[in-house]
Chains A and B, each alone.
Chain A
Amino acid sequence: MELTLIKSIKDLPAEENLFPGTPTCAGCGGLLALRHCLKALGKKTVIVNAAGCFTLLSVYPFTPFQNSWLYTAMACAPAGAQGIRDALDLLIKKGRLDPAEDLKVIVLTGDGVAYDIGLSSTSGAIHRHLDFYYICSDNEAYGNTGFQSSGATPFASKTGTTPIGKTSPTGTILAKKDLFEIWRSHKPPYLATISPAHPVDLINKFKKAEQYKGPKLFISLSPCPPGWTADPAHSARLAKLAVDTGLWALKESICGNVRHTVIPRKFKPVEEYLKEQGRFAHLFKPVRQEDVLKEIQEIVDTYWKDVQKKESIKA
């Protein structure tokens, strides 16, 4: 398969496979990322969904998609993808379905599913080398239930279940799980992080992924205005800031080899990203929590130092 990457936003595919008028919140970063993903994936797809915000995209009798859809349950969308993929292969092999009727199978979940309850079924699907796409829209908490902490919630974030109070001024004291590395340890052929603010990078990653048979996995950092307590008009800007501060590293792993695809020339201080969001407001007011802010900056600095070491060696 010949690989032609796009160079600018003007080259984005014009086709729309996700129509407007969905019940997602204003400024949903996840929806913007999904729109780009579906431009890349085309119409011949079936989305297998797990419980989350996106479950409310298809509510009887409406669907905003051009493609097929199956809602499963919270923990098992990759198993649903397994059943569909296997059944399509069987029908084609046994001559009961025209190969032109074949579909790409896409799992679509949030981070609660991907990082927590659905990890086991995802591990199974990657282990079985299932030929599918997985799109995780990571808004760093259980968003559809009103923003409670998940395995994806970053250190110091306030959520409904990690409130700020006398005994815990920091929010969650746990670190965000490294899902990229958890998935990478299974050795999928293609794995990438994406951002709705970097559609060219996003589209090119899908183009690359398409060359491989097997699990193709994507994690999108999706700004969530109600959960992050941020201005819906600033979602794209926040997504961009997450990348510019180095907090959200855009990277890919091809058969286990990691490469960062967007490296900011000059990293912005993490504070610029944190201060715009209500979920981190306690770090600035009433008292500035200098040690916590320093710790977050250090986590990011250490990460990128490590990246420079590894990827410069390779280069």
Chain B
Amino acid sequence: MLTGNTSAAWGVRLAEVDYVPTYPITPQTEIIETLAKWICDGVMDARFVSLDSEHSMITAAGAASATGVRVFTATSSQGLLYGFEMLYTVAGWRVPLVMVNVSRGLSAPITLEPDHNDILAARDSGFLQIHCETCQEVLDSILMAYRLSEDERVLLPMFVNMDGFHLSFTREPVEVPDIDEVRRFLPPYQPNHAFFKASQPMAQGLAAIGGSLYSYFKYQMHLASMKALDVYKEISGEFEEIFGRRYNTIEEYMTEDAEYVLIMSNSFSTLGKAAAENAREKGIKAGLLKLRLLRPFPEVDIKEALNGKKVVAVLDQNISIGKGGILYSEIAGALYHEQGKPLLLSFIGGLGGKNISSQEFEFIFDTMIKAGKTGKISAPLLLYTEGEWKEMERLKHLAGKRQES
């Protein structure tokens, strides 16, 4: 039994990472503490260093990879935002590394539990992103992420995301792979493109002045990221051969004959799967599509999975203030040119780790069925239960907010 955080640490240990620059932040810290102990005990041959901020941490991570070692780092929420400038920078250096983000809602108000505004803020940075539902998926995804990130056709850094608390501190049975099998899947990193050595001076990360140069390098990043879709498929095939577990770019749960499909990501998908099962018991042909590889965006796979569905609802555990759900927009973009595309609904829920109750899921499926009948689509719906509302009224009273007449 391992927590999500310990599973991440095992992934890093098995990947035989050389270098771990760190900075603590809840709920990620258990990962770096575990690695610090292993390195200190000599069971992991790596160097651990505590930096002065996430900004410095990501810089050191990128610079070490630019020198030629395998690098891991981890952060969460505010830490990710503090280091944000360096995400774009390190991705632009075209250096491979893996960074775990343990999702946590963003300040203000400062909070602890998860939603995905942190990791989705980084979606345009050039980092690839895998989002995980289970502890096993976290460990396995780290191994896959190194393969993908270090592939010469890709050479982009990569995020593996998990939900804070709900996954980071949840214990689940995890199969820890055998190191020889891992070595077969993930050979040592060969820095053929980015390195520093005396005999071959190299300028890296240098300025490119003028739009045509700049565009060229940005287009290169985009094309490499898109190429990663094919590479991912090769790698997931190999992964299945060696370890017997299969991870597609998306996960389809009871979608084959489904009319109503709910789209979710990360650990709350488990709740969504249970809700789909409950709906099935009531005779609703429900299914769930879990988004796993978010960058590059597996548009073709999503379109295929949603082909012929009646109504699709995206449950975004994030909020783009003044617009709505981030993933809703991405799915809508993917479906726009499809013939006979499904109706597409948008729900926001689970912000800051807010529970999504079975009543809320029932409401979602009811709304989908109604929309299917009327063809009418409402604005993004913000999930909030009556009980939560009443409790909030009570707290506002305690906080001194006068009841409005």
Contact = CB atoms under 8 A, between A and B. Distances in A.
A binds B: yes
Interface of A: 43-44, 46, 48, 55-56, 58-60, 63, 65-73, 75-76, 78-84, 86-91, 94, 96-97, 100-103, 120-121, 123-124, 127-128
Contacts, number: 151
B59 A102 contact: no
Given A80-B63, A82-B49, 5 more contacts: A65-B203, A67-B201, A86-B19, A86-B49, A87-B65
A141 B132 CA distance: 48
Given A70-B204, A121-B55, A121-B56, A82 B63 contact: yes
Given A68-B196, A79-B59, A73 B85 contact: yes
Contact of B213 (A60, A66, A124): A60
B21 A83 contact: yes
B316 interface: no
Main SS class of interface, B:
mixed
B198 interface: yes
B201 to A, nearest CB: 5
Contact of A84 (B45, B57, B63, B213): B63
B209 A79 contact: no
Interface residues of B, number: 42
Interface in B158-205: 196-199, 201-205
Contact of B202 (A44, A68, A100, A101): A68
B63 A81 contact: yes
Interface stretch (B66-74, B353-361, B375-383): B66-74
A87 B64 contact: yes
Contact of A124 (B52, B69, B201, B204): B52
Contact of B89 (A55, A67, A72, A81): A72
A127 B204 CA distance: 27
A247 to B, nearest CB: 32
Interface string B43-82: 0010101111101110111111111110100000000000
9 contacts: A44-B198, A56-B207, A68-B196, A71-B206, A72-B59, A72-B205, A87-B19, A91-B69, A103-B196
B395 interface: no
B197 A97 contact: yes
Interface in B189-235: 196-199, 201-209, 213
A48 B208 CA distance: 17
B118 interface: no
Contact of A59 (B60, B71, B198, B208): B208
Nearest to A79: B56
Most buried by B among A56, A73, A89: A73
B348 interface: no
B63 A70 contact: yes
B119 interface: no
